[in-house]
Amino acid sequence: MKLALVGATGMVGREILEILLERNINITELTLVASENSYGKEILYNGKKYKVISLSELLNKEIDLALFSAGSKTSRIWAPKLAEKGCKVIDNSSYWRMNPKHKLIVPEINGIELLQEDLIIANPNCSTIQLVMALYPLHKIFSVKRVVVSTYQSVSGTGRKAVEQLENEEAGVYTEKAYPHQIYRNALPHCDDFIENGYTKEEMKLTNETKKILDTNIDVVATAVRIPVLAGHSESANITFEDEFELDEVRKALNKMPGVKVIDDVRNNKYPMPINGSKKDDVFVGRIRRDFTQEKTLNLWIVADNLRKGAATNTVQIAEYLINHNLV
């Protein structure tokens, strides 16, 4: 397996390297690629130092699989160039997600859709992944009709500059900002750019990507909020079903879902929190309760490490699926 990682020096790229090692992916040749600021840097992986190269250099190599985590502009230009050479690309950016010619994959849900001819495969947005992981087992039984979701998203979802802003503000140092306002001791109802309908791109990703992954008939409306947490996104989801449900059935379905763990013991103050989900690959679900104001409606609290299952882990799981099914 000749594997390339594009965006190797970024937060998600570093996480991908950790997960490749953790999951013992058999790589015969590893190529690390990053922006020109990182050319020539050395990165240690599995006891060996690898020198970071450019995308132009990558095109001269024979690569089986490329994992992209370098932003939409890079993916738009370079993913097709690699695909033309027969290299499969798993892309973390938003560029290919809603393209009808490319699949948007969460392996536990729709990995079975992947075929030999799929050369560019999209990884969903971090907040979408944890939402659909909780919705999927319930949708199969009760048929999800509508979801109202509010997200509480960590600064690492924005990147290293945002992490530095939070840490600097906490230390009383005010430098260049990733956000238009202070994030320390604050909450910003502003994830990504605002668009004409008054929602942000992040909010519309939750709507559009959920429809593409699960079912076009599911209505999703979101409010996405950035909070002063380093890692781990949380979501409050209000879910209306076509069919009636019992809470025991809901818990049973969630417990059976691979990659989901239920933590729901409020009498003992046990419920999912970002601090518990840090560096873990599961999606954690708790605060499972009926909405007493609306028929056939459920409330859930959903937490996941946005750098792991929300990005890096899901990417590596797609790679594993391709390898295990001889699709690469």
Catalytic residue list:
126, 233
Q: HEC string of 146-205? A: EEEEEEEECHHHCCHHHHHHHHHHHCCCCCCCCCCCCCCCCCECCCCCECCCCCEHHHHH
Cβ–Cβ under 8 Å, residues 17 and 45: yes
Cβ–Cβ under 8 Å, residues 265 and 239: no
Task: Find the farthest-apart pair of alpha carbons in the chain and give their distance in angstroms, rounded.
Answer: 61
Q: How far apart are CA 269 and CA 261, in angstroms?
A: 16
Q: From residue 64, give the alpha-carbon distance in Å to each of 32, 85, 199, 277.
A: 14, 9, 39, 32
Q: For residue 113, give the amino acid letter.
A: E
Contacts of 320 (CB under 8 A, 6+ apart): 23, 25, 107
Q: How far apart are CA 118 and CA 165, in angstroms?
A: 39
Cβ–Cβ under 8 Å, residues 121 and 88: yes
Angle at 276 between CA 270 and CA 281, to 5 degrees: 120
